[in-house]
Structures are given as structure tokens and as C-alpha cells.
Amino acid sequence: MAASERTKDLPFVRGDIAKFRHYVGVPLNPYDGPNIGTVFIFSSTPSKEGLSETHRSYLFETASHIIRHLEQAVEALEGKRLLKFNQGVASLLRMGSSAGLAAESAQEQPLPESRDKQQSLVSNLYNDSALRLYQLSATLLYDAFEFDGVRIQEPGPSGNFVNRNPAWNGSSILAEHLGPRAHKPQSLSHTLTSRLLELFPQGAVFQVLDEKSKIVAATSASDVALVDDPVISMELSRSFPGAVQIVLMPLWDTFHERTTGAVLGFANTQSRVYLGSTDLASISAFCTTIMTQVRRLEAQAMDKIKSDFLGSVSHEMRTPLHGMLSSLELLADIPHNAHQHDLLETARYSGLSLLDTIERVLYFSNISSGSYNLEHTGSNVPSEGLVHPSSLVQHKPAASPRESDTVEAINICEDIIHSESQRLRLKEAVQSEPSMG
């Protein structure tokens, strides 16, 4: 090395660092992969006969012990990360329901001003439960994957879409969680977000090189290339100042078949290296769980809206219908002939049938919303000398949740059958009464 023009001026060749001039080494390659280092032994004088077989075996055995230790350390580290990931998914599943989010909101201490602003960034299209779920997801991603910061944001309006909601503050950020060492990311332009989602629909890991305009993207272990898109090369590193690693994962809504947002996690150091072959799969699974919970909240909100609408319409229809039936009863007390009597009974039967239909619509809306009250509905059904099944259930021992659900379903079906039987008996009575007269 001292005779080579390329290496003769290196400090360890000149002897500025150490006087050792002769060395031998064994490479370290855990999991039979690429070399990550070397075990060296140095000497100031050369060995005329070289290393003995015993020394060579000892050197290789030492390197083997180091490799096994490194492999165990990596497996222990991955085990801890896997545990964090599982805990994060479990927390998301536990707190993703509306009941869980409500309980969390009731137990939570007052939020700092900065975090409270983060949660209220988008207020036009999302209810409080969905925004709290996104904020919880950003926090869990930050903890599970050891990011310095996480941002979840919408892809931005498309076409000529204009939001006229006065409560909208113009932000597309759904949630954000920043660590103590993170720099505040800048707002991503709609052009940059669209290009990222278009070119990397399955996510990517970006490595920012020393030259800020050069970015390497990895989507798998074998697919690693320099990004040649000018928008991404110029704006991505500028939007995340100080970040050397940026992970992108789109939020794909399978129900609506569209991308509703993107998760962007970033790190300021290389102490935690993110790989396209392993980390992207875990983050993708986490994001799928996020969208599943968001979809469930949307379904619950829609069910509540439909149930409230049916209940409101049913009540509004029952009020004038009760007035019509009362007027018919008063009108029946006035002297009338047989033909008028038939008309009154037909109108009365039609009103009762319509009232029964409205009642069943109201019952079904209560069943779908989970607020069906057996005691209330059971009291409206005439017994006519029969023992109602719900009265027998009250004296039974406490049942398990599954048995309780079964008993409740049986009672609901029996209530409907009793109501239908009453309607049929009324219909037969009305049809037979004119002939009897």
C-alpha cells in the first residue's frame, strides 16, 4: 500500500495513526450476506512463516463468535420492534371503535395547545372520532417504527373541486406527531403529493444523499434506483428539512377504491435504517388496519344518520296518523248508514295497517342502531290470555353475552309475530263484519 500512488498518503499507511505495518483479517458477514466489517490482528514486524494453523483456526473461530453475537443482537432488536408493532396494532384495534375513542376522550388530560391545533387542522369532512383515530395512528407509527416525525395528510383536491364549507381552514393535514429532534415539515404541494402517489402506489423508502437534489427510492430489496422525477427531487427534501430517510405509504380505501391520503414518516439519522424489503410490508399492514377502522367509523356514522332519519320520519308520520284515527273513532259515534259504516271501517283498517307498518319501520331502525328496547315493545303487544315469552326470560339466571344476544333476537322475532297476528285478526274482523251485519 505504501508503494501505490492511490494509498501511499493514507494516515494509517504513513504511520500517523499507528506503527503497525502488517495485519491479517477475517471478514464478518452475518446471515451469509455482504461483509459489514473485518476482524483484524496487527503486528509491527512481519511473520516469516505466516500464521500457523492454530492461529488461523482461532481467528476464524473468533470471527464466527462475533457473527453469531451480531445475529442474536439483530434478532433481539427485531423482536422488540415486532412487539412494538403488535402492541400498536392492538391499540389501534382497541381504540378504533367509536366507544373506545369516546372512552379515551373522557379519560384524556387537557391537550397542549400545539397538539390540540394538530387535531383540529382538518374540520370540514371528518368527524371528531375519525380525526382522533388518525392522530392516534400517527402516534403509534411514531412509537412502533422509531420515526422522528409522522404526518398523515390528504392527497389534495382534484379537478375543479371547491370546498365551500366555512369551517374549513384550507389544510390537508389529517394528523401529525413530531419528536423532540424533528424539524417542522413544510406543506407538501398538491403536485408533489400527486407525483408520489402516482409513481409509488405501493409505498417507498427514500434515502436523501449528501446532494439534496439526489434521492434514492427503494420499493423492495431488488428495486432500488435514483429518482429522476424533477418534482420529487427538488421538493421532497425541501419539504422535510433535516430528514435523511423518508417513508411513504398510501392509504388505500378498498370500499371506495380510491387513495384517501398518505402516511409520511421521516428520520433525521441513519441509526434506524428503513428497508423496502421489510419495513414497507409492516407499515402497509398498519395502514390497512387504519383504513379498516376508519371505514368502520364511517359505517357507524352512516347507520346512525339513517336510523335517526327513519326514527324522525316515523314519529312525524305517526302524529297526523293518530289524529286521523281519532277523528274516525269520533265520526263513528255519529249516526250513519251501513254504506258509511263500511267506508269508516275501511279507512280505520287502512290507518291501523299504515300505523303498524310505521311502527315496524321504527322497530327495525332501532334494531339496526342497537337501541331496541324489549320492555317498551313488549308492553305494546296485547297478551289476550297468552303468556309473553319475555316474561319467562326475566326469571332465568344471568346469561352469557352470546346467550343474551340470542334471547334478545328471539324476543324481537316473537314481538313481530304477535304484531302481525294482531293485524291479521283485525283484517279478518273488518272483512267479516259487513256480511254479519
Structure confidence by residue, pLDDT tens digits, 348-388: 888 888 888 887 777 776 665 555 444 444 444 443 333 33
Could you report the per-residue pLDDT of 385-412, keeping only the tens digit for each?
333 333 333 444 455 555 666 666 777 7
In tens, the pLDDT along 86-112 reads 888 888 777 655 445 555 555 544 444
Per-residue pLDDT tens for 121-147? 444 456 677 888 888 899 999 998 989
Is the distance from CB of 94 to CB of 102 less than 8 angstroms? no
Q: What is the pLDDT of residues 47-96, one digit of tens each?
A: 777 788 898 899 999 999 999 998 888 778 777 888 888 888 888 777 65
**Residue 332 confidence class, pLDDT cut points 50, 70, 90:** confident
**302 C-beta neighbours (distance < 10 Å), count:** 10
Q: Distance between CA atoms of 85 and 143, rounded to whole angstroms?
A: 9
Task: Output DSSP code: residue 179.
Answer: -
CATH top-level class of 110-158+171-300: alpha beta
**The C-alpha cell of 141 is what?**
407509527
Phi-psi region of 380 (alpha: psi -120 to 50; beta: other; left: phi over 0): alpha
Considering the chain, what percentage of its residues have pLDDT values greater than 70? 73
- Given a cut of 80, is residue 266 above it in pLDDT? yes
Mean per-residue pLDDT, 176-202? 89
Q: Are 268 and 242 in contact (CB under 8 A)?
A: yes
User: How many angstroms separate the CA atoms of 294 and 263, rounded?
Assistant: 14
Burial 78-111 (b: 16+ CB within 10 A, else e): eeebeeebeebbebbeebbbbebbeeeeeeeeee
Evaluate if residue 2 carries a pLDDT over 80: yes
Answer yes or no: is pLDDT of 434 > 80: no
Q: Give the pLDDT of residue 75.
A: 79
- The residue among 355, 255, 345, 370 whose CA lies nearest residue 315 is 355
pLDDT at 328: 85
| Domain extents in the chain | 1-95, 110-158+171-300, 307-436
Report pLDDT for 147: 93
Q: Contact, 274 vs 267, CB < 8 A?
A: yes
Q: Confidence class of residue 161 from pLDDT cuts 50, 70 and 90?
A: very low
Provide mean pLDDT across the span 190-202: 89
Q: Residue 212 pLDDT > 70, yes or no?
A: no
| Pairwise CA distance, residues 418 & 382, whole Å | 8
Identity of the amino acid at 419: S
Is the pTM higher than 0.85? The answer reads no
Instruction: Judge whether residue 170 has pLDDT over 90.
Output: no
DSSP state letter for 184 = P
**Average pLDDT value for residue range 296-324:** 79
